[in-house]
Amino acid sequence: MIQTASLDLRDPATFPSRRVEAWKYSDLRKYLREAPSPSPSAPVPVAGGGPFEALGGEAMVFVNGRAVGADTRMVCGEQTLRLRLISKASGTGHSVSARVAARAGARVLLLETHEGEGAAYVAHTRLDIDIAHDAEVTRIVLVDEPEDALSVTQARVKVEPGARYRQTIVATGARLQRLETEVAHHARGADVRLDGLYALSGDRHADLTSIVTHMAADGQTSQLTKGVVRGTARGVFQGKIVVERGADGTDARMGHHALILSDRGEIDAKPELIIYADDVQCAHGNTVGTLDESALFYMQQRGLSAEEARALLTRAFLVEVVDRIEHEGAREEVRAWLMARS
């Protein structure tokens, strides 16, 4: 468990402070001491289907925490779901609880967008994803929130034997923005890819935290997170992979690579591998650096301004994560979305 008591916006006793180890770098209590007033209901958007509109499928929409239709979906066969989490609140708080279950053999493209249109709101999202054996879920998350919002998204994913889970989170930060993913990996041929990127400027904060527990033998996990911070922004990566006793044949790889592009930007990275099994292949790599000076000079020598050279190198650095998205249409939408924001 990432956190012992689950977060409940009505109960300040559940707001973690940095004294809770898992929240050391994202001190929610610093910004939130009292329970926020509940967000009012807001009109459902009639025009526009969100950032992934072009990919069609069915929409699951929440506005200020209220489900416009169903909050649970069971999928058989092939389905594209656009999970739109819209916040139109100012200074108030709301929670969403949603569930997506992929039945055996199903293929789900879950396109999740956090569309923050208000100001200084508090949003909490709890998402349960169950993936039955031989099913596949691809979850792509775009988070676009105002700089003064607080938002915590907690996804619990159950991956049954032989299932596939693919996740890519793209975060642009807020006053505090945290995306947790907790994967119960039942292995036996199941395959998990858990990617993320953060591109932060100003005073924004984004936290990508994950814990994957390999509970049985022969499971794979591959994780690549990349980030860039500018200004006084702060990026947090906490990745934990636990290989339980008996989970032999586990293949787990984790990488986190970040660039600090300003004097006062900050990155906190905590990669952890906890291994109780004997016969496993596990590796992790973590680098934090800055743009390569010789590459910048080379590009300027060919005529690019210093600013253009930095932008091109930065995008090229981040886009590796986007390139790992297998669904072509989704990949191109994410690429365009990111280019407009980095």
Partner 1 sequence: MLKINNLHVSVADTPILKGLTLDVPAGEVHAIMGPNGAGKSTLGYALSGRPGYEATEGAITWRGEDLLDLDPAERAAKGVFLSFQYPIEIPGVPALTFVRTALNAQKRARGEEEVSAPEFLKAVKAASKALRMDFDMLKRPLNVGFSGGEKKRMEILQMALLEPSLLILDETDSGLDIDALRIVAEGVNALRGPERSMLVITHYQRLLDYIQPDKVHVLAAGRIVASGGPELAHQLEAEGYDRYVGEAA
Interface with partner 1 (CB under 8 A): 292-295, 297-306, 308, 312-313, 315-317, 319-320
The nearest distance, CB 225 to partner 1, in angstroms, is 16
Please list the alpha-helical segments (H only) found in 222-327. 293-301, 306-323
Q: Would you say 19 or 302 has its CB closer to partner 1? A: 302
The nearest distance, CB 341 to partner 1, in angstroms, is 17
Contacts of 124 (CB under 8 A, 6+ apart): 7, 9, 93, 94, 95, 96, 151, 152, 153, 154
Cα angle: 229, vertex 233, 239; to 5 degrees = 70
What are the φ and ψ backbone dihedral angles of 200, each rounded to 5 degrees?
Answer: -120, 140
The nearest distance, CB 288 to partner 1, in angstroms, is 17
- Give, as one character, the DSSP assignment of residue 291: -
The nearest distance, CB 68 to partner 1, in angstroms, is 39
Task: List the structure tokens of 301.
Answer: 């020598």
Q: Would you say 96 or 321 has its CB closer to partner 1? A: 321
- Give, as one character, the DSSP assignment of residue 43: P
CB atoms within 10 A of CB 321: 22
What residues pair up with 156 in beta bridges, in sequence order? Answer: 128, 182
- Segment holding 257, helix H or strand E: strand 251-260
Beta strands at 66-67 and 58-63: parallel, antiparallel or unpaired: antiparallel
With H, G, I as helix, E, B as strand and everything else as coil, classify residue 77. coil
The nearest distance, CB 274 to partner 1, in angstroms, is 32
Q: Would you say 56 or 285 has its CB closer to partner 1? A: 285
Phi-psi group of 335: left, alpha or beta (phi > 0 → left; psi -120 to 50 → alpha; rest → beta) = alpha
Find, among 142, 141, 188, 181, the residue nearest to 164 by Cα: 188
The nearest distance, CB 318 to partner 1, in angstroms, is 9
Q: Would you say 160 or 195 has its CB closer to partner 1? A: 195
The nearest distance, CB 206 to partner 1, in angstroms, is 21
Q: Would you say 1 or 316 has its CB closer to partner 1? A: 316
The nearest distance, CB 301 to partner 1, in angstroms, is 5
The nearest distance, CB 314 to partner 1, in angstroms, is 10
- Segment holding 289, helix H or strand E: strand 281-289
Query: Burial letters for 24-47: b for 16+ Cβ neighbours within 10 Å, e otherwise?
Result: ebbbbeeebeebbeebeebeebee
